[in-house]
Amino acid sequence: MFQIYLKLGMDHIADIHAYDHILFVAMLCAVYTFRQWKTVLILVTAFTVGHSVTLALATLHLMRVPSVWVEFLIPVTIFFTALGNIISDKPGSAPTKVKYAAAMFFGLIHGLGFSSYLRSLLGAHQSVAVPLLGFNIGVELGQLLIVLCMLTLTAVTVHLFRIKQRDWILFLSGAGAGVSFVMLLERLP
């Protein structure tokens, strides 16, 4: 059963229809290069910790937030992450505790977005621990795949095509901010 939920978690995060989650992870790591892989790994893991907490609480029916608010807040998290990238004066600088806390807090919001999907998958299973663990690990692995793609794209763009890293960050983050702003306007409660 663990492998089934592991694959479901990976598939769910890497699904192009879950582009809001992909976009958030892309914005989270947009300012970093392969040299800062440890920093990116910690940021993404902080996000996953928050994500896992609310996913577990919502799946166990211990927390309920109206989906209309969750669907609105998800693009808000993307917008503010992209905006932070744009206004940052030092691309790829070591994140502060605030950035790690923000990633974890935004993970709390995104976890609520997956909870109804996971609840429907679990159905009447007696124990949710193994499926929940498998799904969360699958989500983390899917996110790491997105990070690998983003860091590779950044390396190719900055080193091969000789685009200044700051220009690349502004391009990516501007696009992310624009897409997320449209999404949040479409999802206004």
Find the mean pLDDT for residues 29-42: 93
- What pLDDT does 1 receive? 82
Length of the chain: 189
Residue type at 27 in one-letter notation: M
- What pLDDT does 17 receive? 83
Each domain of the chain, given as residue ranges in start order, spans: 2-186
Over 90: is that where the pLDDT of 152 sits? yes
- What pLDDT does 164 receive? 96
Contacts of 9 (CB under 8 A, 6+ apart): 134, 135, 136, 137, 138, 139, 140, 141, 142
pLDDT tens digit sequence for 114-141: 787 777 777 666 678 888 899 999 999 9
Instruction: Give the three-state DSSP class for 120.
Output: helix
Please provide the average confidence, as pLDDT, over all residues in the chain. Answer: 90
- The pLDDT confidence band at residue 173, using thresholds 50, 70 and 90, is very high
Listed residue (172, 181, 171) closest to 28, CA to CA:
172
Residue type at 21 in one-letter notation: H
Find the mean pLDDT for residues 92-108: 85
Q: What is the pTM of this model?
A: 0.92
pLDDT tens digit sequence for 62-89: 898 999 999 999 999 999 999 999 998 7
